[in-house]
């Protein structure tokens, strides 16, 4: 009996640590933003917990000067598991049921949520895009892997349409009538760039595996306008210095 209780307690502790680590936009309620005296230039000084924002391995970056490393193919296994859409005051995020994952470095990373930034956070060869999706994954130890997909303006994306069908206007959440799969956010070609970076929002924790898909997807002008109007501000952290990091292709 005592043993069972201990197991449950350990389970709860690790679960709460895990969920916190998987939330790329943790710090809900903390007073940070994208403009003025709570903007990205000020994040480090807002709270001692945000000190990593001044680190040397920060995201986003300009993905350029890449090194040919013959990266191994990614193994995506995504299914329809997006059940709710959240406006957390910083982005629009879709939370995902367990059961979707990607294998990186032989390690399984489970998809926890995806969310969006407009304009894009990462640049590719010096180019900014109107939208970027971040597909946030965590392994069993809470290590993060983020798959980034940039979008140009063009034909509408059906997965984005489904995900944003119930976009809350203010902070809050809504249930999605039909579960969405993140598979519809991925380009047909799974070629990618790779670098080591951080959360792009406070607390800017480093040690995040970044996978940036090479090929852009598209969203329509109407979809882009709906997102930008709903959020009401640009939610991209400016690009950070790559410093000594190799960027692989």
Residues 6+ apart with CB under 8 A from 240: 58, 59, 60, 61
Distance in Å, CB of 124 to Zn ion, minimum: 16
CB atoms within 10 A of CB 50: 20
Residue 106 vs 232, nearer CB to Zn ion: 232
Which residue, 120 or 157, is less far from Zn ion as judged by CB? 120
Active site includes 90? yes
Taking the complex as a whole, the smallest distance from the CB of residue 10 to Zn ion amounts, in Å, to 30
Smallest gap from Cβ 12 to Zn ion, in A, equals 27
Q: Which of 120, 111, 80, 112 is nearest to 227 (CA)?
A: 120
Q: For 24-64, give the DSSP string.
A: TT--TTS---SSGGGSGGGHHHH-GGGGGGGSSS-S--EE-
Nearest in space to 248 (alpha carbons), one of 113, 96, 66, 90: 66
Selected catalytic residue, list 25, 28, 31, 90: 90
DSSP 67: B
Query: Total number of residues binding Zn ion (CB under 5 A)?
Result: 1
CB of 115 vs Zn ion, minimal distance in Å:
6
Q: If binding is defined by CB under 5 A, does position 237 make contact with Zn ion?
A: no
Residue facing Zn ion at closest CB distance: 134
Which C-beta is closer to Zn ion: that of 134 or that of 209?
Answer: 134
Give the x/- contact pattern for Zn ion in 132-151, rule: CB under 5 A: --x-----------------
Q: From CA 30, how far away is CA 56, in angstroms rounded?
A: 23
The binding track of 162-201 with respect to Zn ion, each residue x by CB under 5 A or -, is ----------------------------------------
Sole window of 131-139, 149-157, 188-196, 220-228 interacting with Zn ion (rule: CB under 5 A): 131-139
CB 159 → Zn ion: shortest distance, Å?
Answer: 17
Q: Which CB, 112 or 134, lies closer to Zn ion?
A: 134
Instruction: Identify the H or E element spanning 124.
Output: strand 123-124
Cα 99 to Cα 110: distance, rounded to the nearest angstrom:
7
Q: What angle do CA 135, 141, 145 make, to 5 degrees?
A: 25
Beta bridge partners of 145: 137, 209
Q: What is the torsional sign of CA 171, 175, 138, 243?
A: negative
Binding range to Zn ion, per CB under 5 A, among 63-71, 78-86, 127-135, 165-173 = 127-135
Residue among 134 and 194 whose Cβ is closer to Zn ion? 134
Q: Which residues are catalytic?
A: 90
Interface residue list for Zn ion (CB under 5 A) = 134
């Amino acid at each position: 009996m005592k043993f069972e209780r201990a197991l449950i307690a350990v389970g709860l502790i690790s679960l709460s640590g895990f969920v916190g680590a998987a939330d790329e936009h943790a710090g809900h309620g903390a007073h940070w933003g994208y403009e003025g005296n709570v903007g990205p230039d000020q994040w480090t000084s807002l709270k001692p917990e945000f000190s990593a924002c001044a680190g040397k391995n920060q995201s986003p970056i300009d993905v350029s000067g890449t090194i040919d490393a013959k990266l191994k193919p990614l193994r995506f296994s995504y299914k329809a598991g997006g059940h709710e859409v959240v406006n957390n005051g910083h982005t629009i995020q879709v939370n995902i049921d367990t059961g979707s994952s990607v294998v990186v470095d032989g390690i399984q990373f489970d998809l926890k949520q995806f969310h969006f930034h407009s304009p894009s956070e990462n640049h590719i060869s010096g180019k900014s895009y109107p939208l970027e999706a971040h597909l946030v994954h965590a392994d069993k130890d809470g290590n993060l892997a983020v798959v980034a997909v940039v979008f140009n303006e063009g034909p509408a994306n059906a997965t984005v349409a489904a995900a944003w069908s119930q976009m809350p206007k203010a902070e809050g959440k809504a249930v999605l009538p039909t579960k969405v799969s993140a598979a519809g956010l991925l380009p047909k070609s799974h070629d990618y760039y790779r670098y080591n970076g951080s959360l792009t929002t406070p607390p800017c924790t480093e040690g995040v595996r970044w996978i940036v898909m090479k090929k852009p997807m598209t969203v329509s002008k109407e979809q882009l306008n709906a997102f930008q109007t709903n959020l009401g501000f640009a939610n991209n952290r400016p690009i950070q210095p790559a410093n000594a990091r190799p960027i692989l292709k």
